[in-house]
Every structure is written in C-alpha cells, then in structure tokens.
Chain A
Amino acid sequence: MPRLRAADAERAAVLYRVQRRRGLPALAAMFALVLGLPVVFAVAPGLDSVRLWGIPLSWLMIVVLPYPVMAALARWQLRRAEKAEDR
C-alpha cells in the first residue's frame, strides 16, 4: 500500500491545499467564460446585426474571442501552479 515519509506527507498536504486553492479561481473563470458567452448571445441577439469589417460581431466573438482568453488563462494558471511548487 502507498506510504509517504513524514516530511513528504507534510509537503504533499501543503501542496494539495495550495493547488486546490489556486485551481478553483482558474476553473471558475473558465466555466464563466465558456458557459457565460452563450448567455450573452441568448440575451443580446442584437450582436448578430452589429458588424465589424462586414462580419457579424457575434460570429467574431465565438471564433476569435475564446481562444486567446483560454490560452492566457492556461498560462496564468500554469505560472501559479509552478510557483506553488517552487517554494
């Protein structure tokens, strides 16, 4: 059965709590972005008729917006998770 040395167990317990605390905001931000954007489209159908460079704004928002935001979110979370382990 898995066993941990006392020092390791202590460090693991600290890391577990730190990573849990740091992970939750990132997860919440991702769910807010991905599940929130459809709500924006549902309550603001006017976005379909606003045009930017001839392209409906809602189309731009679904194609261009989520990916850079998610990449930035991933980078932010990666930094925070690694910092927790550098201590």
Chain B
Amino acid sequence: MDIALAVTPVVLITLLIGVRGVAAMRTTSDFLVASRRISPLVNSAAVSGEYLSAASFLGVAGLVVKDGMGALWYPVGFTAGYVAMLVLVAAPLRRSGALTVPDFAEARLASPALRRIAAVVVLVIGTIYVVPQFRTAGLVLTAVGHTPYWVGVVIAGTAVSVTLALGGMRAATYVQAFQFFLKLLLFLVPALWLVLHVSTADREAALTPVEFTRFTHETPVDFQYGVTMVLREPTTIVSAAGPETLAPGPLTAHRGDHLTFAAGARVPDVGGAALGGPAWQRPLLDVATGYPLLATWAVLIATMLGTMGLPHVLMRFHTSPDGRAARRTAAITVALLGVFYLFPGIYGVLGRVLVPRIYLSGDTDTVVVALPSQVDTGWAGELFTALLTAGAFAAFLATSLGLLLVMSGALAYDLMPGGLRRLRFTVVFAAIAMVVLALPSARLDAGVLVTWGFTVAASTFCPLLVLGIWWPRLTAAGAIGGVLTGLVASSGSILFALAGPRLGGWPAILVAQPAPWSVPLAFGVMALVSLRGRPPSWAGAAMLRLHLDERPPAPSSAPAYRSSTVRRVARRLNR
C-alpha cells in the first residue's frame, strides 16, 4: 500500500511534465535536443538528475556493504568525469552543431560508415546501461513491496516510454531537472534522519567495524536468487521442524529459499571482502586480491573517462544554447554531484551494522530501502522507506529517459532516418526490448553492471571525442579502427569475465575491469591508423571550427551572460 503511495506520485509527475512538453514539440530537433534553449543551471540539474541512476542512488551503498569502503571511489570517478568533460569536450562538442554523437562523428570526419558504427555503439552502451536500471527497479519493489520481480521492471519501462513518446527531450529536461532536486531531498533527509535516530551503540559500531563472523541473534535470510555459500564449521539452521546442524562445506540456497541462522552460528563465506573485516575497512578496492591500487585505478579510469563518452550525457550538452553554456553546465554539474555523493557512504556503513543479512542474500542493492525499517518499526520507518523507494524510482526513470532517448535517436535518426512519428514508435520499441532483456538479468553482479557501460564508453567515444576535438590529423579510418577495437576489447573482456573460467590475481582485475588497457589500446589504434593515412585538406578547418566561440567579443554581449541565473530560469519556466 505505502509502496503505491511512494511510486505513484513520482510516476504521475513524470507523466504530467511529459505531457506539458508535448505542446511545444514540432520537429526532430525539438524532440532530441529541446530546441537547444536550456539554460546552464536547468541543464546541469538535468544532467545530474539523469546521471544519478540506480547505481548512484542504491548501487554505491550496496557496493559498500558488499566490497567495503573502497566502493566509495565509484562516485569520485563519476564526478571527476565532468571535470574532464569541462576541459576537453563540453564546449567544442556543442559548437560542432551536431544533434547526436554519431552526428558529431560525421560532421568532423565526413564518414557515413563511422556514423553508423557510432550509432551501434550508442545502442550497445544504452543497453548495458538501461538494463541494470530496470533490473534494480524490479529488485527494489520486490524487497519493499514483495511484488514479483517483473512488476517493477514493467512499471519502469511503461512510465519511461510513455513520457518520452509524448514529450521527447523537452519533457525529459524538465523531468530530469525536477528529479535531481527530488532525488537529493529524498536521499539527504532520510540519511540525516537515520544518523540521528540510530542508537548510539549502532552508530559506534558503524564507525568501528568488526568482522561479521557470528550471528548475534537468530537471523532469517530471504534469498532473491541462488547463492552458493561455504560453511566453515558445523552451522545450526532453525526451521519450523526445529534446529538442524549442517556439516561444513558448500551450501546452495535457491531462489525464494528462507534460511534462519541460529544465534551464535558462524557466518558462511560468500566470496568478496569479508563484511567489516580488515580488507573491508580499507578505502581501496579488491584489497583481498593483493592488488588494491590496480583495482582502484581500473575503476577510476573507467568511470572518469567513461563519463566523457556516455551518449545520453553528451546529448544533454547539445541542449545548451551555445558552447559557453555547455561548459558552464559541466562546471555546475561537478558541484551538484558533489553534494549528492556525500551521502551514499552513510547508507553503506549503517547498512553493514543494521542489515548484515543482505550481505548473505546477495541483494545488496536494496540496502538503502531496507534501512529505515531497521531503525524504526513504526510509521516513521515506513514513511522513510516510502520516500527512499520514491527517490530510487525517480533515479531509474530519469536515467532510463535519457538512455532511451539516445537509443531511439541512434535508431531512428542515425541508422534509419525518419520523422518525428518514427522516433516516437522507436522509443516504445526500444523500451519493450529493454524490459525483455531486464527480465532474466536479476542476478547479474551490480559492480560489473555499473562499470561495464562506462568501460565501453571510455574505450570508444572517449578517444573519438578527445582526438576528434584536439588532434587535426585524425582520419575516418583511424576513428573507425579505434572505436571498433575499443568496443570489441572492452566488451569481449567483460563477457569473458562473466562467462569464462575464473582467474586470480591481477589478470582477474584486468579482465573484469579492462579500462586500464582497453582505453590506451583504442587511443593507440586510432592514432596509429590515422598517422598511416592522410587527413583530407579540410580536416584542419573541421577541427578548428569546434574551437571558434559563437559570440565575437563585443562588450554589449557580455552582461547578458552575467544576468542572474535565477531570473533566467524563472523566465524559461514561465514561458
């Protein structure tokens, strides 16, 4: 009941703002880039709102429970990407005048083949990125409302496709800008409430982790999907029939199983960092493997450079009126994200103390919504669970909106050019495809899913944009070679990590997080192939054009920019 109360307003407001966007929409440009009239403040709120996905709202806190404090490097990388974006990409990309990334590729290098390849890369990144959003929507509704997994997935898919098909980017911009502040509020207030209401003993325990070795009281664990644990000593399980002692060795729990561990029983191993152990406490990733620095850098490189190549984020910069506004958007985004990312750690350290069972059942992504009811069993706990669920849903919706938009842009604008009507159909089609893919994905590893899309983006669009904007000698052949190499290397490596034999040591890290070698490889191939060819005579002009500011330096034009941002936002919204 309270779940319906939480999710319905978010979905309804999303739809309402979507409908409001319909009136102003006439052309493909309206649909894809909101007629390019979004001010820096609104646009940076929209960028942040779109960017704060399920991975940020729920995933980071879940990864803290699962992998330890090192997981807090993920948001650092997510934010640092916008500094790189500000320096390297924002203004020139906007000045290219292109509507989408494939459009940019063709504008800079005049190669229709590259455009189609870039469109395919958009589809790949979009799929890898949107499936976890829908998956987490399903998991959260299951954890909070005990609905079947598919219900959440289908609700998310429907809300997103209807909003987009009606309102396009114009709707998405206001939905996402609104949702940034909604998400910030829905994340920040419960975090402060939790910190104030948690008992002093629990607060102390959160800050002084001890390894989770024994269940302090009888602990029921519900398994959302199959998990294989290793029992280190005879372990007592309580069931309706009475206590039963299991011999040491592997123990497999199936989807839907309930196991109740007796008080004092030893916690089984599930792989990864032992919860609260010495490796868990260190602010580095994969401490147990012995290569923490490599593992941490791998994640940082993927998230930092990947942000620069995420097609839905890049598209947002095309909605700014000019290059300067795009650059300001990137700078404000760094500040907005910095405020939000102060809080996931709070959920993570409290989750370790209050809901350690989540560590066993494997659905660590639900730790954020599981916390309030542990602190308060009355109405306040329920209220805050509802608020966090609403925020999480806002996160799925905003991110999926942007992703489905670029994916349908790639399909209906780059691969098979058509009008507005075809764009609208494509959105619905893409949403259905994503829902179908999300249905069997419930048990994929959250950490892998989070960085996969980033790694592919870092190995394909990041070199394409950086070299395309800053290196006049880049050729179409070089760009095609580099993008294809990056795509195959990064995706192939991660697929191998998911399906192939288990590796140990540093090869395991470099296979699961290939960014440290796949990004330089893509850059290298792009540069080498380009150097062997000869850029066309207009290549220099095509690159320099990206660096030419729109406004010739006239003193009269400057004050318009310094006018109050708030006033300009108000004017925009009142129109």
Contact = CB atoms under 8 A, between A and B. Distances in A.
Q: Do A and B make up one complex?
A: yes
A23 B544 CA distance: 16
Nearest to A37: B76
A76 to B, nearest CB: 10
Contacts of A63: 72, 342, 345
Contacts of A41: 282-284
A72 to B, nearest CB: 9
A82 B549 CA distance: 10
Contact of A78 (B72, B296, B328, B558): B328
Contact of B338 (A11, A33, A34, A71): A71
Q: Is the interface of A mostly helix, strand, loop or mixed?
A: helix
B236 to A, nearest CB: 34
B327 interface: yes
Contact of A74 (B77, B110, B335, B470): B335
B207 interface: yes
B466 to A, nearest CB: 10
B297 interface: yes
Q: Is the interface of B mostly helix, strand, loop or mixed?
A: helix
B327 A12 contact: no
A54 B538 CA distance: 62
B141 interface: no
B77 to A, nearest CB: 7
Nearest to B71: A62
A48 to B, nearest CB: 6
Q: What range describes how many residues of A lie at the interface?
A: 35 or more
B88 interface: yes
Given A23-B88, A71-B334, A54 B342 contact: no
Contacts of B337: 67
Q: What range describes how many residues of B lie at the interface?
A: 35 or more
A82 B385 CA distance: 45
Contacts of B300: 34-35, 38
Contacts of B547: 12, 15-16, 19
Contacts of A50: none
Interface in A36-87: 38-39, 41-42, 45, 48, 54-56, 58-59, 61-64, 66-68, 70-71, 73-75, 77-78, 81-82, 85-87
B541 A2 contact: yes
Contacts of A54: 204, 207
A32 to B, nearest CB: 11
Given A4-B548, A38-B284, A27 B88 contact: yes
A74 B331 contact: yes
A44 to B, nearest CB: 11
A62 B538 contact: no
Contacts of B76: 34, 62, 66-67
Interface of A: 1-4, 8-9, 11-13, 15-16, 19-20, 23, 26-27, 30, 33-35, 38-39, 41-42, 45, 48, 54-56, 58-59, 61-64, 66-68, 70-71, 73-75, 77-78, 81-82, 85-87
5 contacts: A1-B538, A16-B543, A42-B284, A85-B324, A87-B553
